[in-house]
Amino acid sequence: MKKGSKYGTHRVLEPKGSLPQPAIKISNDMEIFDNEILIDVDYLNIDSASFTQLREEAKNNIEKIKAKIIEIVNEKGKMENPVTGSGGMLIGNVEKIGDLLKERIELKIGDRIATLVSLSLTPLKIDRIINIQPEIDRVEIEGKAILFESGIYAKLPEDVEDTLALAALDVAGAPAQVKNLVKEGNSVLILGATGKSGLMCSYMAKKMAGEKGKIIGQARNESRAEFLRNTNFCHEVIIADVLRPVEVLDKILEVNDRKEVDISINCLSIPNTEMASILPVRDGGVVYFFSMATSFTKAALGAEGVGKDVTMIIGNGYTKNHAQITIDLVKESETLRKIFEEKYIK
C-alpha cells in the first residue's frame, strides 16, 4: 500500500500543500493508502446550514438538490458546500483498513461507524443517490468514503438506532461544549432551541446551570414555542425574530429580570444572526457560535460596534468524549429520545 500523511495532505490536488478541509479539490480515488480506512457509505447527514442553502437554491426541488450534491462531490472530491463552506457527516460500514492502522485501532471489517469529521474534508465518491429526506437533512446513497489516520469516528451503539445516532452525533460538539461552558447559576440564551442541536444544548445547559440557573429558549413562532415549552428543557421560552437583534434583547430583558444573559448559544442554520447572539449578553459574558452560517467578520465588527466586551467562541465540532456525551444524553432523557425517534428514525 502507498504511504499517506496522517492529516490526509497526500489527497490534496489543489492547492498543493494545503490540508484537505480548506483545499479546493481532493482526490476521491477509493484505492486506500496504508493509513486510511475505506467506508461503504449508507447515509450522509448534510450540515443544516448547507442543506438550507441547497434547498433554497433548488427551490425545494429534490432532483435539483441531488444534482447539486453530485456536482459538488464530482468537482471537489468531497461534500463541501461552496457557499457555506460546511459539510456534515456520514454512517457506513468499514470495508477495508490500511496496513499501518490494522494494529493501532479497535476497528474490524464490517464494523458500523459514524465519522466525526466533516464531509468538507472527507474523500467521497457517490455512485447513486437513493433518497433525500429534506426535513432532516439526510441523504441516502450508494458510495464510498475515506477516513484519514487523524479522523475521528464512533462505533455505533447497538441499543440506539443508526439513524437516530447519526442525527445526534452530527451535532455532538454542541452539547459537549455546553457542558464545559455553562456553570451553576448561569443564565443562558439558546437561539434556535427547537432544532436538534438547540434541544440538546437546552437540555445540557439546564442540567449544568442547576436550580439557580435560567435557560431561555428562542423559537420563531407560537407552535414551535409550545413544542419547546412541552419539553421542559427551558425555564423561559421567547418568540423572537433572530434577524432583529434589538427585539431579541428586549424579549430577554422581559423574562430575565431586566438583565442580560451570561451566555448565548447560536444553534441557528441561517446567516446574519451574529448580533442577535451578541446583543443580549452582558459584558464579560460568552457567545458560543455553533452555527456554520456565522460570519467572523460580522461577529467581530458587530460586537465592536455596540461596545460589547464578550468572549466569542467558534463552535468546534470536536470536544473530548463528545460522541459518548451526546449518546448518553439521548439515553438519559426520555423526552429527547422520543423527539429524536419520532423525527429521525425513518
Q: Which amino acid is at 8?
A: G
pLDDT band at 94 (very low <50, low <70, confident <90, very high): very high
Q: Are strands 281-289 and 311-314 parallel, antiparallel or unpaired?
A: parallel
Kindly tell me if the per-residue pLDDT of 345 is higher than 80. no
Q: What's the rounded mean pLDDT across residues 41-65? A: 94
Given a contact cutoff of 8 angstroms between Cβ atoms, the answer to whether 131 and 57 are in contact is no
pLDDT band at 58 (very low <50, low <70, confident <90, very high): very high
- Predicted confidence (pLDDT) per residue in 206-258, tens digit: 999 999 999 999 999 999 999 999 999 999 999 999 999 999 999 999 999 99
- C-alpha 181: how far from chain center: 17
Q: Which DSSP helix (H) or strand (E) runs through 247? A: helix 245-255
pLDDT band at 62 (very low <50, low <70, confident <90, very high): very high
Average pLDDT, the chain: 94
Q: Which amino acid is at 325?
A: I
The residues pairing with 190 across neighbouring beta strands, listed in sequence order, are 217, 265
Backbone φ and ψ for 181, nearest 5 degrees, come out as -85, -45
- Predicted confidence (pLDDT) per residue in 107-147, tens digit: 999 999 999 999 999 999 999 999 999 988 899 999 999 99
Domain extents in the chain: 9-156, 173-339
- Predicted confidence (pLDDT) per residue in 152-165, tens digit: 999 988 888 888 88
Q: Which residues contact 50 (CB under 8 A, 6 or more apart)?
A: 81, 83, 84, 86, 87, 88, 292
Kindly tell me if the per-residue pLDDT of 103 is higher than 90. no
Angle at 53 between CA 14 and CA 114, to 5 degrees: 70
CATH number of the domain at 173-339, please? 3.40.50.720
Backbone φ and ψ for 165, nearest 5 degrees, come out as -60, -40
Percent over 90 (pLDDT), the chain: 84
The residues pairing with 179 across neighbouring beta strands, listed in sequence order, are none
Rounded CA separation 9/19 (Å):
5
Rounded CA separation 118/152 (Å):
10
Question: Which pLDDT belongs to residue 280?
Answer: 98
Backbone φ and ψ for 191, nearest 5 degrees, come out as -85, 130
Rounded CA separation 27/13 (Å):
6
Kindly tell me if the per-residue pLDDT of 346 is higher than 70. no
Kindly tell me if the per-residue pLDDT of 100 is higher than 70. yes
Question: Which pLDDT belongs to residue 95?
Answer: 98
Q: What is the CA radius of gyration of the chain?
A: 20
Range in 3-17, 25-39, 320-334 the model is least confident about: 320-334
